Structure formats: C-alpha cells, structure tokens
Structure 1
Amino acid sequence: MPMVPAMQVLTLYGAIRAIGATTGPVFQGVGKPSILTKLAVIQLVMMIVIIYPLTNKFGIFGTAVAIVLPNLITQIIAGIKVLTIIKCDGYQFIRPLLFPFISISIVILSLYIFISIQRNINITIFIILIFLSGLTYLGMSYLFKKTFDYDIVKMLSKLLR
C-alpha cells in the first residue's frame, strides 16, 4: 500500500500546520501581513521546484514530501520572525512543547517496539496498549515534574485562568 507512508508524512504536515497556525494572526496583529505573502511565495516556489523530481523518483511518497518540506521550512522562518517580534528567546518558546514531545516520543517508541515484537494484536491487547500508553505518558510527566520542575497541571491551570 504505497499511500501509507505518504499519509504518515502528511500527518507531519498537520502537526506543522497546527503549531504554525498561530503565526499568521501575530503578523496581522502587528501590521505586517506582507510577511505572510512573502512566506507563501517562498513556499510555492520551493514546492514548484521539488514536486516533479520527487514525484518522479518516489511516487506518491515524494509528492507528500514535496508538500511537507516547503511548509516545514517556511514555518521555521515564520516562527523565528514571530520570536523576534514578541522578543522571546527560543528556549522560552520551545520549553512548554519540549517535555510533552519527549513524553509522546517515548510512548510511540515503546508502542513501536511492542508491536514489532508482538505481531498478533487483538482488541484486548489493543485496549491494554491504550491503557499502558496513558500510564507511560503520565509516568514521564511525573518524572519531568520531579526532575526538571516541569508541572504540566500547574501550567495548564495558569493558562486556563
């Protein structure tokens, strides 16, 4: 099924867009919507340049990469510009995302290892995996709270006030 790897790459596109969607309103709010236009043109040019060669060489997977790669590059540029506008250093920006990203990466890695060992997965094992994944994530959150004083509950309650 050649569409599976392409869909996996396109899920990255969704994650990139979800994180990068906040940059547009910042540029418009500070009166610099032209930055969005310039970034869109850069993204389009990069896409035009790489879509045919990647599609020709790798098929639908190459097309997916040709969509995601220019978006990733322009979102990085937009993020750097936003950090400059709001006068925020990179670590302050990344810190709230870093520990949840590490936690979910460990959950995904443990699931990948388990699934590669245990090929026959039925509904019971699937439910157990969901439960264990939640416990792993909570365990990592607790470990980060104790080790790095990263309290996600306190951070979320402060955001919701």
Structure 2
Amino acid sequence: MQAFSKLSAWMMLALLAAVAAHAQEPVRSAPPKQAQSQAATQFLRAVLRADYVAAYRQLAPEVRRTVGFAQFEASARPLWKSGQKHRSAIELYKLGLRLGDGGASRLFYAFSFAADSAVKPPPVLLEVTFRDTAARTVLGFGLRPAAPAKPLRPASQAAKR
C-alpha cells in the first residue's frame, strides 16, 4: 500500500509539473479581425503595386469562381494605370451603401488619390464593394468618376425664390 501511495505521489507531482509548465507557455490568441476599411485599402494597394496575385486572393470566393485571373488582371489594370498617373498613395474619401437591382444594397468604400486631396470632388474615385458589413472579401471594384460638384447659388438668387 505504501508503494502505491509513493507511486501516486510521484504521478501527482508529475501531473502538477506538467500543468505548471503548460501554464507558463504564452497564450496564443487569434489575430484581431481586420476592419473592412483595412481590407479595402490592402486590396487597392495590391492593385496599385500591380500585385495582382495578392489582390486576386482578396476577392470573395464566388467572384473567383466566375472571374479568372487573366480577366481580373485586365479589369484591375486601369486602376494601376490611374495610380501611375496620380501616384499611388490613396486615402479614404467616403463610405456608403449603393442600391442595386432588385433592392439589393452593397456597402462600398471610395478612395481618392492623395495627390487629388485638394480637388473637391476628386476627379476619380477608386471603389471597393463588399457583400455586407461582416464581409472582408471584395465583391467588386472599379474606377468611378466623381460626381461633379453642384454650383452654389449666390445668396441674392436664393432670396428671390
């Protein structure tokens, strides 16, 4: 019986040592989830660097199933060319919802080139769309001419109405 209790004591000590060693290991947490605006920025920066492989990986799976790499690269090239013309630094211009066919809406991020920051509105916007607020993969992208600024009416004309 005494041999059994010595064996039990050794097993208990070994178990406690294993638990203590495991407790001293650093806790590995999952990396924080990337914000949607960061995903859009990373996608555009990859396109502007002509890193089409990295950008293609950031497309939503349903987009990659229907759009081959060569077609994607051809679609992304105008953004890259625009970046060459304007320099590739970008900044977030606006975020919004665009209503589509059948009442479906898509969340979009519009970026302007930093070189155009003094021009209101900027001549061109780089747009990235997502399926919804939880999505981190890109559903669509493109260049969009900015809406022309509406001219302000002088106060004298506004008072006449």
Structure 1-normalised TM-score? Answer: 0.23
Structure 2-normalised TM-score? Answer: 0.23
| Higher RCO (Cα < 8 Å, 6 or more apart) | 1
Higher helix share goes to which structure?
1
Higher strand share goes to which structure?
2
